[in-house]
Amino acid sequence: MIIHEIDKEYKSTNMIRHLARLSDCIFAFAMALMVAGFDFPDAKDMTDAQINSFLMGQLKPLGTYVITFVLVAVYWIAHSQQVSYYRRTDETHLWIGVVYLMCLFIVPLSNDLLMSFPKSFMVKVWFSVNIFLIGILSFVSWTYATYNHRLVDLSLDKRVIWSTRVKALIEPVFALVSIAVAFLNQGLWDYVWLVIPIVYFLVERFFKEERTAKVAKVAKVAKQEIQSRVRESHHSLH
């Protein structure tokens, strides 16, 4: 029975490694495929004026590419952080991860559509929904794994669990906001995504400072306890 449990735990740990490798590959492919959305001129004998005009026309798609690339990069960082806390997995968790990667691999298509039809309201909604689904699935995966410490160590701090949940909701919340913004003013839609890295950084910094303050407080209490025991020991000797 014990051997069976050890074997089961070993296989579960291996599956986490496989899932991490698969995730890294999907992220890498998704980032690489986004470049395919750029247009290339058909004619090779273009004048300098035509080349300059073509390059200026690529500024808008380039901005879209940068925004999408940064969004995927933020998801990759968050996903890598989550995976580092997993100690085991199960079939339900693996399927959540597979659907998550499926939605992630649609990002290059969403990016291409946005480059081809930058003024289309429905394309922007499509893109926003795509980002929303990735974020929600990331949140669901982490919530499932950490519920009653199902797939993580029992010693994992609840503050880490809570802060990771909050960070997982940043992008899907902004995705919903972007849909409302696009409905009101499509020109402001791009700027919504630029706020995400800033908010993510501020939230990360807030939780980091909170953890640092907690550690400092615990250390101070421990120091006072040690000093108190030293004084009591000194008095007892005299």
Please name which of 44, 107, 41 lies closest in space to residue 74, comparing C-alpha atoms.
Answer: 107
What value does the mean pLDDT take over residues 144-163?
91
Amino acid 216: pLDDT: 56
CA 18 to chain centre: 19
Amino acid 30: pLDDT: 87
Q: What is the pLDDT of residues 9-35, one digit of tens each?
A: 545 667 888 888 888 888 988 888 887
Q: How far is CA 182 from CA 118, 127, 170, 185, 189, in A?
A: 12, 11, 18, 5, 5
Mean pLDDT, the chain, rounded, equals 82
Q: Is 218 helix (H, G, I), strand (E, B) or coil?
A: helix
Q: What is the pLDDT of residues 93-130, one digit of tens each?
A: 999 999 999 999 999 899 889 888 888 999 999 999 99
Domain ranges for the chain: 2-193
How many Cα atoms occupy the beta-carbon half-sphere of 73 within 13 Å?
12
CA distance 66 to 72: 10
> CB neighbours of 103 closer than 8 A, spacing ≥ 6?
130, 133, 134, 137
